[in-house]
Amino acid sequence: MKQPTKKTVLLTAASCATLIGVGAGIATAAVSAHKAIPLKDPAGLAITKNADGSAKAFSIKTTCFGTAGCHGDAAAGTSSVLKYTYNDIEKHSYHAQLGANEIRGFNPFNIDSTDAFRTGAGPQGKNWVQSPGHVGSW
């Protein structure tokens, strides 16, 4: 595997520095940010082209997160959005979870349960209602 050139590293650092502003809620497009993003595959390896010109699809998790100065940098400081890892965001995002973290199981209705979801109208007799979210209750 080839190592990033010094120039690339510098560009990456510049991009990530601007990301701090992005994450803090600056609405305008980040000028010069994300200009040179080294793409990484799901294993975290740099992506190179195959013989037919194709290449592995990049992973958000490894491309955007985990590099010093980028997202998911533990050294970013307590007040920086950059400290949040991919998993920090993903596991607590309702857009991502959609009920995957609230699964009640198959046929959850129980008239005697203290869980209002189980005693509610939703789960009664419907096998596709296994959570209050989308996953399990499409």
Partner 1 sequence: MYKDGAGAVYNATTAQFETVLFGEVASGSSRVANVVGGSTKYYEPYNFTDAATFAQKADNSVAGEMRDCGECHVGGGAMEYMIDDSATVSGTYDASKRKSLREYVFGGAVTAFNALIDIFNETPANRGNVVVQDYSQTGVLEMDCLICHQNDYSWDKRKEAVRKGEFDASRAVGSKLAFSAKDGVNVFYNSTSVTATPAGLVANLEYKIVGKPTSNQCSSCHLGNSIETKNATTGTVTVTGGEKYQVDWKKRGEMWSQNGTILDVHGAIGCMGCHERTGATAGSTAAVGVSGNIGDNKLGLCDPAKGGASPFDAMWNKMDKVEFKDCSGCHEYTTAPAFATFGAPSSKGAHDRAGLTAKIAYDKAGAQVSHIDLIDCTACHIRKDGFSGGAFVDGSGADEEGRLAVHDTEYVAKGDMANGVALHWQNGKIYAANLLTSFFWRDMNGLKTANGGFDANNDGREAGMDPLLQTHVANINRLNGLHALTADGIVNAAEITTQQSAIAAGIRGQLGNGTTQATNAFLPKLSFLMVPFKASHNIASADRAWGKNGCKECHAAGAGFYNGAYPINGNMDGKFSFDSNQVTTFTKVNGLVDITDSHPNVVTKDGTRSLPIPILTKFDTPYVQTATPGQTLRNIDRSEVLYENTFQTVKQDWVASIQGGAIAAVCNAASPFYCDNATYIFNAAKKGATSTLGWTLKVDAKDSNGVITSRTAQVGNDMVTSVDQLVTALGSIGGTYFTVTAVDASTGLPAVSPAVNNSIKLAAADGYTIRINKLSDVGPFGLKGALWVNAPIVRGTNSYATRAQYVTYLNSIDAAAFGVGQTPVAGIAAINQETGTTAAPLVKDLSYNLNATGTPAAGAKFQWATNAGTAAVIADAAAASTTINFSKAGTYRVALTVTNVDGATATSYKLVNVTNPVYISVTAPATTSTTTTVPATATKPAYTYTTVITKVPVTLAAGTPTFDKVRFFWGDGSASTTITADALTTANAAGGQAHQYNRYSKYFKTATGKYTYKTTIQLFSGSTLVSSQSVVVEVP
- Assign residue 105 a region (left: φ > 0; alpha: ψ between -120 and 50; beta: otherwise): left
3-state secondary structure labels for all residues of 98-116: CCHHHCCCCCCCCCCCCCH
**Closest distance of CB 7 from partner 1, Å:** 9
Give the nearest distance from C-beta 91 to partner 1 in angstroms. 4
- When the beta carbons of 3 and 75 are compared against partner 1, the nearer one is 3
Least gap, CB of 29 to partner 1 (angstroms): 5
Dist. CA 86–CA 93, nearest whole Å: 11
